[in-house]
A and B are shown apart, each in its own frame.
Chain A
Amino acid sequence: MKNYAALAKLCYSFKLQILCFAKIYKGWIIKILNVKISIKNLNFYYNDKQAIHDLNLDIPANEVTSVIGPSDSGITTLLRSLNRLCDLNREARAEGDILLDGKSIFGKEVNVTELRRRVGMVFDVPAPLPISIFDNIAYGPRLNGKKNRKELAGIVEQSLSMAALWDEVKDRLNKPAMSLSGGQQQRLCVARVLALMPEVILLDRPCSGLDPISTAKIEESLIKLKERFTIVIAPHNVQQAGRISDRVAFMLMGDLIEEGTNASVFSSPKDRRTNDYITGRFG
C-alpha cells in the first residue's frame, strides 16, 4: 500500500511539473510569435445567417498574414471584424472575442474611432476623395487636430514614401487625386491609412483591378511596411499570397480550415481542401 501511495505522489508531482512546463512553453510560444491580434472563438452572424464559425487565429506582429479562400467564405467579414467596421451593419452580430495587444476590442471602454485609427483598412476599389493628393493624405491627421502645415507636409511625404508613391507625385501634390492611375490611387489609399500612424493595416483584395506593375509596386511596399506594421491581407489570388505572406490562413464557408507558414501551406498543406483550393481544383 505504501508503495502505491508513494507512486501516486510521484505521479502527481510529475503531473504538476508537466502542467508548469506547459504554461511556460505556451508563454514562450506566444512570445516567439509576438501575437498582435488574437481571435478567440469568433462567431459572426448576419441576422440568422452565420458567416464565421468558431474561429481561433493568432496574427503575429510585423508579419504579413494572408487570409485566402473562395468568395463567401467570411474573409471580408473577418477583416471588417478586426476594426469593428462590421458594427456599421445593423444586421451583424459577433460572439467571441478579438484581442488587440491582449485587450478586447469589444470592451465598453474601447473608442471605436481610435481602434479604426490603430487598425486601418484599404479596400478593393481605391476610393480617393475628390480633393488634391496632399489633402487626401492630410485629411485624417487634420481630423485628429493637426493643423500645422509644415507638420502635415512631413506626414504627407513620409506616408507617400512608405507607400512607394512619393517619387511619382512629389511635383504635383496639389493636383486632384482622381487624376492618378488606378495603381497610384490604391497606393494613395495605403498612404492615407499610413498617415494615421496605424499599428495594423487590413487590405481587402487591394490589387484586384490593377495591372501587374502596379500590383508589384504595392506588394513591394507591403513587404517593406511589415517592418513597422502588422499586415493582414485578403489577396485577390493565391499567387499573391504565395509572394508576399509570412503566414497563410485558409477559410472555407466561414470555417478556418488551416493556418501556417507560407512554406508549409504552399508546399505540403495538411488539409486536402487547402490543397484542392490552392491548386485551383475549386474556388
Chain B
Amino acid sequence: MRLKFDEQLDRLNNLLIEMGWLVEQAIADANKALVEKDVDLAKKVIELDDEVDSREKELDSLCLRLIMQQQPVASDLRFISAILKIITNLERIGDHASDISEITISLAGKQYIKKLEHIPQMADAAIKMVTESIGAFVKKDLDLAREVIASDKFVDNLFETVKNDLILLIKEKADNGDQAIDLMMVAKYFEKIADHATNVAEWVVFSITGTHKDIKIM
C-alpha cells in the first residue's frame, strides 16, 4: 500500500550513496592532486564541487517533497530528517576538498618544505570515515557508525603531529612560513572533513535510535 513511498525512499538512499561516492572521490582526488602537484586534477576537484552541490539540492528537494506528500512519522521521519542533516555535512566536505585544491593550485611549481607523509594519512582516514558512515546509514549498522565516531580521534592526533612539524619548520627557517601556513590549512581542512564524517555518523545513530549525541530528540 506504500509502494510509491518505498520507491521514493529507495531513490533517496541511492542518491545519498551517489553523493557519498562523489564526496569520497573529491577527497581522494584533492589528496592525489596535492601530493603529485597535479593542477589539472585539482581543477577537476573544484568542478566536482558543483556536482556535489547540485546533488545536495536534489536530495534536499526530494526530502522536503516527501515530508509534504507523505507526512512521514517514526522510522520514516528519522530516516528523512537524518538525510537532510547528512547531506549538509557531505556538501561541506565537498567544499573543503575544493578549498584544498585551490591551495594545491597556488602551490604549483614550488618545492614542498616537507615530505607529505601525515596529510595523505589524514586523507585516507577521512575517506574511510565517509565511506563507513554512509555504509552504516545504508545498512543501519549502529556499531559501524560508532566506530566512525571513535576514529575521529586518530585524525585529530595526525593533525597535531602535522601542526607540530610545521611549527618546527618555521622555527628552523622563517622563509618556510608562507608554505607552512598553506599546509597547515590543508591539514585543518582534512581534519574538518573527518569532523563532518563524524557528524554524518552521529546522524546515522539518530536515524536508528532517535538519539543524537546521547540526547533523545525523537
- Interface, chain A (partner B; CB < 8 A): 238-239, 242, 266-269, 274-275, 278-283
Q: For the complex, what is the distance from the CA of A239 to the CA of B2, rounded to whole Å?
A: 15
Contacts of A267 in B (CB 8 A): 73-74, 77-78, 210, 218
A279-B72 in contact given A267-B77, A268-B218 (Cβ < 8 Å): yes
Output the residue of B73, B78, B218 with the most chain A CB within 10 A: B73
The reply to whether A239 and B75 contact each other, CB–CB distance below 8 Å, is: no
The reply to whether A279 and B74 contact each other, CB–CB distance below 8 Å, is: yes
The reply to whether A242 and B2 contact each other, CB–CB distance below 8 Å, is: no
The 7 closest A-B pairs by CB, nearest first: A267-B218, A268-B210, A280-B2, A266-B73, A279-B76, A275-B74, A278-B73
Chain B nearest CB from A226 CB (Å) reads 22
Output the residue of A239, A266, A268, A278 with the most chain B CB within 10 A: A268
Residue pairs across A and B with Cβ atoms less than 8 A apart, 14 shown, are A242-B73, A267-B73, A267-B77, A268-B210, A269-B74, A274-B74, A275-B75, A278-B73, A280-B1, A280-B2, A280-B5, A281-B1, A282-B1, A283-B1
Chain B nearest CB from A118 CB (Å) reads 34
Output the residue of B75, B76, B216 with the most chain A CB within 10 A: B75
Q: For the complex, what is the distance from the CA of A271 to the CA of B78, rounded to whole Å?
A: 16
Q: For the complex, what is the distance from the CA of A266 to the CA of B73, rounded to whole Å?
A: 6
Contacts of B71 in A (CB 8 A): 239, 242
Q: For the complex, what is the distance from the CA of A280 to the CA of B216, rounded to whole Å?
A: 24
The reply to whether A279 and B2 contact each other, CB–CB distance below 8 Å, is: yes
- Interface, chain B (partner A; CB < 8 A): 1-2, 5, 71-78, 209-210, 216, 218
Contacts of B1 in A (CB 8 A): 280-283
Q: For the complex, what is the distance from the CA of A65 to the CA of B76, rounded to whole Å?
A: 23
Interchain CB contact (< 8 A) of A281 among B2, B209, B218: B2
Chain A nearest CB from B5 CB (Å) reads 7
Chain B nearest CB from A281 CB (Å) reads 6
Chain B nearest CB from A233 CB (Å) reads 17
**Who on chain B is nearest to A241 by CB?**
B73
Q: For the complex, what is the distance from the CA of A275 to the CA of B79, rounded to whole Å?
A: 13
Q: For the complex, what is the distance from the CA of A282 to the CA of B1, rounded to whole Å?
A: 7
**Who on chain A is nearest to B218 by CB?**
A267
Q: For the complex, what is the distance from the CA of A216 to the CA of B201, rounded to whole Å?
A: 40
Q: For the complex, what is the distance from the CA of A215 to the CA of B78, rounded to whole Å?
A: 27
Q: For the complex, what is the distance from the CA of A275 to the CA of B1, rounded to whole Å?
A: 15
Contacts of B76 in A (CB 8 A): 279
Output the residue of B71, B74, B75 with the most chain A CB within 10 A: B74
**Who on chain B is nearest to A237 by CB?**
B71
Contacts of A238 in B (CB 8 A): 73
The reply to whether B2 and A266 contact each other, CB–CB distance below 8 Å, is: no
Q: For the complex, what is the distance from the CA of A283 to the CA of B218, rounded to whole Å?
A: 24
Output the residue of A242, A267, A278, A282 with the most chain B CB within 10 A: A267
Contacts of A274 in B (CB 8 A): 74
The reply to whether A268 and B74 contact each other, CB–CB distance below 8 Å, is: yes
Contacts of B209 in A (CB 8 A): 268
Contacts of A242 in B (CB 8 A): 71, 73
Chain A nearest CB from B212 CB (Å) reads 12
Contacts of B5 in A (CB 8 A): 280
Query: What would 18 more interface pairs be, CB under 8 Å, given A238-B73, A266-B73, A275-B75?
Result: A239-B71, A242-B71, A242-B73, A266-B74, A267-B74, A267-B77, A267-B218, A268-B74, A268-B209, A268-B210, A268-B216, A275-B74, A278-B73, A278-B74, A280-B1, A280-B2, A282-B1, A283-B1
Q: For the complex, what is the distance from the CA of A226 to the CA of B73, rounded to whole Å?
A: 24
Contacts of A266 in B (CB 8 A): 73-74
Contacts of B2 in A (CB 8 A): 279-281
Q: For the complex, what is the distance from the CA of A274 to the CA of B210, rounded to whole Å?
A: 16
Q: For the complex, what is the distance from the CA of A274 to the CA of B78, rounded to whole Å?
A: 15
Q: For the complex, what is the distance from the CA of A283 to the CA of B5, rounded to whole Å?
A: 15
Contacts of B75 in A (CB 8 A): 275, 279
Contacts of B218 in A (CB 8 A): 267-268
Q: For the complex, what is the distance from the CA of A278 to the CA of B72, rounded to whole Å?
A: 9
Contacts of A280 in B (CB 8 A): 1-2, 5
